Amino acid sequence: MNLFGGVIPVTGVSFFLFCILAVLFVGYALGRITIKGVSLGDAGVFIIALLFGALFCAEGGSIIPEKELANWGHWLDLTETLGLILFVTSVGFIAGPKFFANMKKNFKSYVLLGLVIIIAGGLAAAGCIMLGDKVLGYGAETITDRDGFVAMIVGLLSGSLTSTPAFSAAKATVAPELQGLVSVGHGIAYIFGVIGVVLFVQLVPKLAKADMAEERAKIAISAKEDVKAKAIKLFHMDHMGICVFSLAAILGIVVGKIQIPLPGEVFAGKPFSLTTTGGCLLVALIIGHFGRVGKVSLMPAETTLKLFRELGLVLFLAGAGIPGGQEFVANFNAMYFVYGIIMTIVPMIIGFLFAKYVLKLSLLNNLGSLTGGMTSTPALGTLIGTAGTEDVAAAYAATYPIALIAVVLVSQFLIILF
């Protein structure tokens, strides 16, 4: 099969890149549509990627030859992973100079908020399991046993929190024959998991009629300028800083692969790791904090970081969205979609109210922390645009590691307990 009268064959890497770029083009156009000041932003790319996967890559309706679909799976994984690396490493560098000062000031708040959000999500998942047991059966004709239903719910939880580490941990914990159900649940819930938080961080400031200039001032951290450091002429490996960016990403991938065995019979020796996402974020935060070694600069140029942050985000959304669209068509069930909405909204609302009324965090600090607690990479990108400041990335980076660890443990606990 060929497109445009045989000009473009639907095989090979060139056609794959053609489709990815088409998804970005149409997705950005959709994201620019604004209704009463609210837009999808970068999440428009995710929606178009989902539609592309559903319409053109789903079983029975694919425009791609069947023998090519396996290659597409590998290329989409590469696109998603590269996007994540570019995005979280950029976020780490951007947040690094203010991260530790912010963490020192609000450490307890970030830990508490991350735990509250994930525990609320876990309780919502447990409630869905019990509801399915006692009221609705298992929610789908294809699942006839309780273990399969629990695997589906845990997949929905990882998708509703857009958490790849939780997804991986859940698949590793369930029996091999149930891993497909975890994948299906993740794909179904991921849609609202992305869009729900993206819209929330835009709507809240508008509903609160917040003065964004005032809110930006609240989240900004005052710090004395290091005049002596400014006087030193630093050596740059390259004028864009791609060399040090690559070094941080390499180290981050290595750190993310380190596996730490979890103690006790409950976890049966299952290892925990930060994954590539957490490893790149941690390493970039540390390097960004110090900024230099002697007279050698370790900071990429600001323009590089902004470009990689945006490019990484949309590549991640395209890489995750297309296979999500394929799974959505094949396995969609309305009840599971409702479960996913519940598992996104409950922790999001509880987390926001807890941060506002108990922790007394300012609006942007609250929302930045919330995106980290919900492990929502796309929502952070949207919030930076809505807030008009990069400072929200420090709040995201502070809460994210706590939520990352907690959501992996909660997912495993749900499987073991139920």
- pLDDT single digits (tens) 63-119: 777 777 778 888 888 998 899 899 889 988 987 887 777 777 778 888 899 899 999
- Output the CA torsion sign for 128, 131, 133, 139: negative
Structure tokens at 99: 């991260």
Q: How confident is the model at residue 223, as a pLDDT?
A: 37
What is the reported pTM?
A: 0.73
Lowest mean pLDDT among 41-50, 64-73, 147-156, 299-308: 64-73
The CA distances from residue 351 to 120, 212, 236, 371, 405, in Å, are 8, 21, 42, 10, 17
Give the angle subtended at the CA of 111 by the CAs of 106 and 114, to the nearest 5°.
Answer: 120
* Three-state DSSP class for residue 235: strand
pLDDT > 70 fraction of the chain, expressed in percent and rounded: 83
Average pLDDT over residues 180-194: 79
What residues contact 229, with CB distance under 8 A and at least 6 apart? 292
Average pLDDT over residues 10-35: 88
At residue 88, φ and ψ (nearest 5 deg) are: -70, -30
Structure tokens at 94: 């951007």
Torsion of CA 165, 170, 171, 175, to 10 degrees: 160
The total number of residues written for the chain in this structure: 418
pLDDT at 179 over 80: no
- Please tell me the distance from the alpha carbon of residue 78 to that of residue 18, in angstroms, as a whole number: 16
Closest CA to 391 of 380, 401, 402: 380
Average pLDDT over residues 14-33: 91
- Tell me if 385 sits within 8 A of 41, measured CB to CB: yes
Closest CA to 346 of 311, 373, 327, 386: 373
Q: Which of 153-157, 320-324, 341-345 has the highest mean pLDDT?
A: 341-345
Tell me the pLDDT band of 4, cut-offs 50, 70 and 90: low
Closest CA to 214 of 363, 417, 400, 113: 363
- Give the pairing of strands 260-261 and 271-272: antiparallel
The CA distances from residue 167 to 157, 293, 328, 366, in Å, are 8, 38, 16, 26
Domain that holds residue 280: 2-417
Closest CA to 128 of 148, 150, 159, 144: 150
- Please tell me the distance from the alpha carbon of residue 139 to that of residue 339, in angstroms, as a whole number: 10
Which helix (DSSP H) or strand (DSSP E) does residue 69 occupy? helix 66-134
- Residue indicated by tokens 């993740």: 186
- Tell me if 362 sits within 8 A of 21, measured CB to CB: no
DSSP 381-403: HHHHHHHT-TTHHHHHHHHHHHH
- Please tell me the distance from the alpha carbon of residue 197 to that of residue 205, in angstroms, as a whole number: 13
pLDDT digits (tens, 9 = 90+) for 204-224: 988 888 888 888 888 877 433
- Tell me if 92 sits within 8 A of 381, measured CB to CB: no
**Count of domains observed in the chain:** 1
Lowest mean pLDDT among 159-173, 258-272, 367-381: 258-272
5: left (phi over 0), alpha (psi -120 to 50) or beta: left
Question: Which one is predicted more confidently, 1 or 67?
Answer: 67
